[in-house]
A = this chain, B = another copy of it.
């Protein structure tokens, strides 16, 4: 009861060496079929539980892939994570998850912790990191995948899409539908780099298309969600109607804005158009449906899995960059 059951115990019980037990419990070896069956039976009877820690230690292969996400509490990142989990659990790989809370310093600390677990690959969300952190991962010969962005100076493999180009799609769409006075609703400067990139892309796209300067509506520190969108629009009051369109950093924010507008009696899209980002479920179900950009979180996950598979199979693949693209999804808010 007190002591834990080890392979040695199982070996003793079947009257064989631990090595044979080890082989019998793993699939891939040449062990007599009857022996294997007996070993497995005894192992089960004794309540033996395999010790991955020892295996990881002995083989120097942890069976872990480390993943950092800005937040789990985001349907898109969660979806990518789900796809990763599903794709990798078949390969017997477990995920070590950490949240950066949208802060690069937190990411550095986190990666330090994760590296101590000796992961076989590192999957990072985004391409913005501290210098210290870059050094950390580059010193090791550890496969790194950055996802959700297309960083200018990648650490290794990349699976993502261009946030900037996605925003241009939106701006062009708004121009086409006759909107000119745009406002961007997003988080305060700083933490959420993806948001910053989107904002800057909107601003510069508007400029290059000859629109008036884009107004910036600050919904508070990242992460911003439904309630922040609603709150900031509520605070503005009917003033907001001076804009033709609210370009929001994400669908939840867009939904929050829309809800606030509707409560004030303003019509979407007649009084103000709204766009979101990320094709969250709410965009499809909201009334009216929110015009958004499909970023296919699931496919990002799958592509990352595929890259990891390649890495694990062939030991030294060239670093790849996969652009999963993005597409405008026109709803009823524009």
Contacts and interface: CB of A to CB of B under 8 A. Distances in A.
B281 A226 contact: yes
A140 B227 CA distance: 45
Interface of A is mostly: helix
Interface in A252-299: 252, 255-256, 259, 262-263, 281-282, 284-287
A96 B99 contact: no
Contacts of A117: 52-53, 94
A117 B117 CA distance: 12
A54 to B, nearest CB: 6
A99 B256 CA distance: 29
A49 B259 contact: no
Given A49-B112, A51-B116, A85-B99, 18 more contacts: A1-B141, A49-B140, A50-B116, A51-B118, A53-B53, A53-B57, A54-B57, A57-B57, A72-B72, A72-B81, A73-B79, A78-B78, A82-B99, A85-B98, A94-B96, A97-B97, A227-B284, A262-B287
Interface of A: 1, 47, 49-54, 56-57, 62, 71-73, 75, 78-79, 81-82, 85, 94-99, 112-113, 115-118, 135-136, 139-141, 225-227, 229-230, 252, 255-256, 259, 262-263, 281-282, 284-287
27 contacts: A47-B139, A49-B112, A49-B136, A51-B118, A53-B53, A53-B56, A53-B57, A57-B57, A72-B78, A72-B81, A72-B85, A73-B79, A78-B78, A82-B99, A85-B98, A85-B99, A94-B113, A95-B97, A96-B96, A225-B281, A226-B281, A226-B284, A227-B285, A230-B285, A252-B281, A255-B282, A262-B287
